[in-house]
Amino acid sequence: MFSFCSDPSSLDGAKWLACYLTTGKHMAFYGSFITVMVLLLVTAPAALLFGFAGAMAARSRFLPLRWFGKSYTAIVRGVPDIAFFLFFVIALDQAFEYLRHKIKCPDWDMPVRQGNDFVVCPQAKLPLSSSPQWVHETYGFLIAVLTFAIVFGAFAANVLYGAMRAVPKNQLETAEAYGMSRRQTFWRILVPQMWLYALPGLSNLWMILIKATPLLFLLGVEDIVYWARELGGSKTSAYSYPHPDWRLWYFLALLVFYLSLTRLSEIVLGRLTKRLSHGQATIGGERQRRAPA
């Protein structure tokens, strides 16, 4: 980045550090922070969508749909996250390629399973081998988002299902007595009130999601933990900026980042809880009512 960085062997002190912190690998390290934040901002609403759909399915009157909703939450919550991330992503990727294989190569006469290999026609590969690098990286990131959304959606479904059951039944019965249909009662009475009961569980789930972002490396995404380990480790003479083992300092930087992010989340979620509790017949609402004006 700087003109004086052309010859690393002639640098020392602040100039050496300035050049070291602006190498291409460090730029990738800084960019990985954005990757983590984008993952959180995209995965959170996606997981909430999966969770809401799962909760609705679990309370459905249609028995097969109810079984599907409860099975989804039970199976995903019961499988260790690391096992799910290791095997589900491979199965999901192969499922996408298999469907494309059936559509694009109907005349393919070779078996897809060849020993331990999964072989599809070149046109069905995701992404195509001729695609640029950014397409491969984007595809891997989208697979990561979908996997995170499915996993944390199951936990969100359990939270939302409990929140729906926590809404007082007499309010639902009153709405139906006033002539509201089941659909109107659900959307106008149940859904607006359930968020207050769901927020503590969803807040914890958000914190767990933040702590789970280092699992990105299992999905082939170069995240901040990957780069901290790579850049902090001692390098050989082939590396332009050799240094001792600095992993402690890199991981301390990650500690500050994660603690700052969780603290900011606590402040925002606390204010949101206070706002939703206003006028509600809950402990938080009662505390606000008794507070001096």
Q: Provide CATH code, domain 32-250.
A: 1.10.3720.10
Q: Consecutive 10-residue runs of the chain (293 residues): their mean pLDDT?
A: 67 79 86 91 94 92 91 88 79 85 83 80 81 83 88 93 89 86 88 89 92 81 85 73 86 93 92 76 50 52
Instruction: Report the pLDDT value the prediction gives residue 267, as an integer from 0 to 100.
Output: 93
CB 100 within 8 A of CB 120: yes
Give the global pTM: 0.80
Instruction: Report the pLDDT value the prediction gives residue 1, as an integer from 0 to 100.
Output: 60
Which structure tokens are listed for 83?
Answer: 């096992």
Distances (CA, A) of 87 to 82, 84, 92: 9, 6, 9
Instruction: Report the pLDDT value the prediction gives residue 171, as an integer from 0 to 100.
Output: 85
User: Residue 87 — φ and ψ, nearest 5°?
Assistant: -105, -35
Of residues 99, 139, 125, the one with CA closest to residue 219: 139
CB 217 within 8 A of CB 272: no
Of residues 127, 92, 125, 89, the one with CA closest to residue 108: 125
Of residues 104, 136, 135, the one with CA closest to residue 121: 104
Rounded to an integer, what distance in angstroms lies between the CA atom of residue 173 and that of residue 176?
Answer: 5
Domain boundaries, the chain: 32-250
Which structure tokens are listed for 139?
Answer: 């595809």
Residue with tokens 């993952």: 39
